[in-house]
Amino acid sequence: MKNDPLFHLALTKVPGIGNVQAKLLLAHFEGDAEAIFKAKKKTIATVEGIGDVKAKAIKAFEDFKSCEEEIVFCNKHHIQILYTNHSNYPQRLLHCYDAPTVLFYRGNAGLNTSKVVSIIGTRTNSDYGKQVTEQLIAHFKEQNITVISGLAFGIDAIAHKAALKNSLPTLAVLAHGMHTIYPVQHKLLAKDILLCGGLLTEFCNGVKASRHNFPKRNRIVAGLSDATIVIETAIKGGSMITAELAYHYNRDVFAVPGKLTDYKSSGCLALIRQNKAVLYTSPDDFMREMGWIDAPKLRKAQKELFIEISEEEQRIVELLQKKDSLHIDEIYLQSGLSSSIVASCILNLELNNIIATLPGKLYKLV
């Protein structure tokens, strides 16, 4: 069956078949994972980027039992198995070349809401970083923005908690299977997130949090969102990986500036300097950059005249209000006044600081 999770799961377990190869195979077989396993080796091998070795590995795969056990575990714990042609699969991820073949999702928040922002940063945040994060997310409430982060210590946890405080949906992307929570200190936070958000991972039940899993987790954080905001990070911080991934996924990246001497802000300053991130200045400026609120309308300043001027002088002022500047000859012509009256009017208007003289006998309103 085209929508049977069993074969999508099996595809993730075949040696040598990563997310990129799985995407090519599914595109060739029109999203039918079962058809991949039932196809002849020769047919599979002709798919771009596959070849004989990978085709042989697919035909030799027999561990469907572990896939069936995964399905049982997911059903028991109310976990959705999302594959790339599943209606609930995050559509933003499909634009990433290395989109996860399968995702496991537990929660009730939508994965395809209209506005999604990832908030990331150091595990050892400053009070400044905490304040910026909380103020930013408080402003998200009016737009009902979904907040994404990685459930880590520091900025991640602050972002999730601020979202919950403001009744915003928040998603925590995990670097391990759904059988556990890492760090263990965030078990209660994860439980709270499930009330109005969700937990998301590409790792099967039993997979522990290991060092090489975090960059994989970070790419999902980057790809899930319309924009990534880096609050605080060192140059070699894990948030830099996420920011780089978001940049290469053509997502908007923002970085919060800090002191030049502050180690925790060195990564943010580097992203801004390299033009990989927009300078974050305020929640409203961020939302204007994203096109989520309108820019303030600029009204053309109109000089209020508190001094009495003659009818002829008023006629000249009205002419200058229509254009940035006028030549003296145009003033003569358009006003219908004599040259002596125009000269007198201009002198009086200049003395009252209503108009100014420009080079070339041009005049403009002050």
Please check the confidence at residue 301 and state whether its pLDDT lies above 70.
Answer: no
Rounded-to-integer distance, Cα 330 and Cα 339, Å: 11
Max distance between CA atoms of the chain, in angstroms, equals 102
Question: What one-character DSSP code corresponds to residue 109?
Answer: S
Domain extents for the chain? 5-105, 108-289, 311-365
Buried b (16+ CB within 10 A) or exposed e, 308-338: ebeebbebbbebbeeeeebebeebbeebebe
Query: Could you name the CATH architecture of 311-365?
Result: Orthogonal Bundle (1.10)
Tokens at 45, concatenated? 């091998």
How much is the CA Rg of the chain, to the nearest whole Å? 31
What value does the mean pLDDT take over residues 269-273? 95
Cα distance between the two ends of the chain? 75
Please tell me the predicted confidence (pLDDT) of residue 138: 96
Rounded-to-integer distance, Cα 129 and Cα 259, Å: 12
Read off the pLDDT of residues 141-195 as tens digits, 9 standing for 90 and up.
989 999 999 999 999 999 999 999 999 999 999 999 999 999 999 999 999 999 9
Please tell me the predicted confidence (pLDDT) of residue 351: 84
Inter-helix orientation angle 213-223/238-248, to 10°: 40
% of residues, the chain, pLDDT over 70: 96
> Which of 83-92, 241-250, 327-336 has the least mean pLDDT?
327-336
Burial of 139 (0-12, 13-18, 19+ CB in 10 A): middle
Query: Among residues 62, 40, 39, 42, which one has the least CA distance to residue 52?
Result: 42
Q: Report the DSSP pairing between strands 102-107 and 198-201.
A: antiparallel
Q: For residues 102 and 250, is the Cβ–Cβ distance under 8 A?
A: no
Q: For residues 267 and 239, is the Cβ–Cβ distance under 8 A?
A: yes
Chain center to CA of 130: 20
- Torsion from C-alpha of 283, 288, 293, 296, nearest 10 degrees: 100
Tokens at 40, concatenated? 């002849």
Q: Taking all residues of the chain, what is their mean pLDDT, rounded to a whole number?
A: 91
What value does the mean pLDDT take over residues 244-258? 95
Please check the confidence at residue 302 and state whether its pLDDT lies above 50.
Answer: no
Residue with tokens 């995407």: 23
Residue of 358 and 52 predicted with greater confidence: 52
Please check the confidence at residue 305 and state whether its pLDDT lies above 90.
Answer: no
Order across the sheet with 355-358: list the strands.
Answer: 326-327, 362-365, 355-358
Please tell me the predicted confidence (pLDDT) of residue 297: 54
At 284, is the secondary structure helix, strand, or coil? helix
Please tell me the predicted confidence (pLDDT) of residue 328: 87
Q: What is the pLDDT confidence band of residue 304, given thresholds at 50, 70 and 90? A: very low
Rounded-to-integer distance, Cα 229 and Cα 357, Å: 49
Please check the confidence at residue 1 and state whether its pLDDT lies above 60.
Answer: no
What value does the mean pLDDT take over residues 255-280? 93
Please tell me the predicted confidence (pLDDT) of residue 267: 95
Query: Is 311-365 in the same CATH topology as 108-289?
Result: no
Residue of 321 and 164 predicted with greater confidence: 164
Specify the amino acid at residue 165: K
Residues facing residue 253 across a β-bridge: 228
Buried b (16+ CB within 10 A) or exposed e, 146-172: bbbbbbbebbbbbbbbbbbebebbbbb
Sign of the Cα torsion 348, 351, 353, 359 reads positive
Q: For residues 84 and 31, is the Cβ–Cβ distance under 8 A?
A: yes
Query: Could you name the CATH architecture of 108-289?
Result: 3-Layer(aba) Sandwich (3.40)
What value does the mean pLDDT take over residues 70-91? 95
Please check the confidence at residue 247 and state whether its pLDDT lies above 80.
Answer: yes
Please check the confidence at residue 300 and state whether its pLDDT lies above 80.
Answer: no
Please tell me the predicted confidence (pLDDT) of residue 295: 67
What value does the mean pLDDT take over residues 72-98? 94
Total-model pTM: 0.78
Please tell me the predicted confidence (pLDDT) of residue 306: 54
Query: Among residues 221, 235, 94, which one has the least CA distance to residue 160?
Result: 221
What value does the mean pLDDT take over residues 35-64? 93
Q: For residues 223 and 253, is the Cβ–Cβ distance under 8 A?
A: no
Element of type H or E holding 364: strand 362-365
> Which of 92-101, 158-167, 201-210, 345-354 has the least mean pLDDT?
345-354
Q: What is the pLDDT confidence band of residue 359, given thresholds at 50, 70 and 90? A: confident
